[in-house]
């Protein structure tokens, strides 16, 4: 190789190599500091878009989990209310059975009727007043309600609850069929209340099925979210062991490069020494 004073070709080559090593060190520092292998589009343009879509899905599934948990809370409110409805109906049945006894006087039956009316009023109150976030759950109007249970449009579950008001479960309008003033009417009330209890049991079965489905959906969402998270981690996260090894290697190369560069910069001195000998 010719020796030149004007252009130090060796020094330029060493500088170029040293610059590349310094740039690699910068990447290693950034990856170790952030914990990410992909910190910008230039790191892995092909997989960055895929990782972004995975992040969108993961975040959407997190919201879907909250929505589904809201659905579980709603079903619990409805079911707990119906427990009280069943209790009130069971008490009406007890009073009707008591009223069928021949030992009861008309006065006794009127007293029993007063309590029956109170229990009927409680059944009506539960059906009309129990709400979740302003929505009446047991009045017969909770139909065709959509719950977003996934990350994408259309991932919905439609839920409907039958009404538990007195007229809808066979107790008559405002419960006017619940009378125990005579043994005949009390016996009829027993039959009607048994049918009403069957209706409430059917509603509770529907609510229980919906709640179980919500819980199953949450399990599915969590499994899917875990899989997406693992895939995104494979794409985006830095391999700390690998980056640490590269960091140590490049630090050594950088130090060697600096030393070599200082020697390369002295190459023109060889020509000066030759000139001095002339």
Whether 14 and 260 have beta carbons less than 8 Å apart is answered as yes
Structure tokens belonging to residue 53 = 């879509």
Question: What average pLDDT score do residues 211-238 get?
Answer: 93
Q: For the chain, what are the domain ranges? A: 9-35+238-277, 45-236
Q: For 121-156, write each residue's pLDDT tens digit.
A: 999 999 999 999 999 999 999 999 999 999 999 999
Q: For 27-43, write each residue's pLDDT tens digit.
A: 887 888 878 888 888 77
Strands (E), 102-225: 131-132, 135-136, 145-148, 156-159
Closest CA to 185 of 112, 86, 90, 125: 112
Architecture of domain 45-236: Up-down Bundle (1.20)
Q: Within a 13 Å sphere around the CA of 185, how many CA atoms are in the beta-carbon half?
A: 17
DSSP string, 216-242: HHHHHHHHHHHHHHHHHHHHHB--HHH
pLDDT score at 6: 62
Whether 146 and 187 have beta carbons less than 8 Å apart is answered as no
Which one-letter DSSP state was computed for residue 36? B
């Amino acid at each position: 190789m010719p020796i030149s004073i004007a252009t130090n070709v060796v020094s330029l080559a060493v500088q170029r190599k040293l610059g590349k090593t310094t740039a690699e060190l910068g990447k290693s520092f950034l990856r170790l500091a952030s914990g990410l292998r992909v910190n910008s589009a230039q790191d892995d343009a092909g997989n960055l878009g895929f990782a972004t879509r995975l992040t969108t899905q993961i975040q959407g599934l997190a919201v879907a989990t909250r929505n589904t948990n809201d659905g579980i809370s709603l079903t619990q409110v409805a079911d707990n209310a119906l427990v009280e409805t069943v209790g009130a109906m069971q008490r009406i049945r007890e009073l009707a059975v008591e009223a069928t006894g021949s030992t009861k006087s008309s006065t006794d039956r009127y007293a029993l009727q007063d309590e029956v009316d109170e229990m009927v009023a409680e059944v009506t109150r539960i059906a009309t007043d129990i709400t979740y976030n302003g929505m009446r759950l047991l009045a017969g109007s909770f139909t065709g309600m959509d719950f977003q249970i996934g990350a994408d449009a259309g991932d919905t579950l439609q839920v409907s609850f039958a009404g538990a008001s007195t007229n809808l479960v066979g107790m008559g309008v405002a419960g006017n069929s619940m009378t125990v003033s005579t043994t005949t009417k009390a016996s009829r009330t027993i039959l009607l209340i048994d049918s009403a209890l069957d209706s409430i049991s059917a509603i509770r079965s529907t609510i229980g099925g919906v709640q179980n489905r919500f819980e199953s959906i949450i399990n599915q969402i969590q499994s899917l979210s875990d899989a997406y998270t693992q895939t995104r981690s494979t794409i985006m996260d830095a391999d700390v062991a690998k980056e640490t090894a590269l960091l140590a290697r490049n630090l050594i190369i950088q130090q060697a490069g600096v030393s070599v560069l200082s020697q390369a910069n002295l190459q023109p001195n060889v020509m000066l020494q030759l000139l001095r000998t002339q």
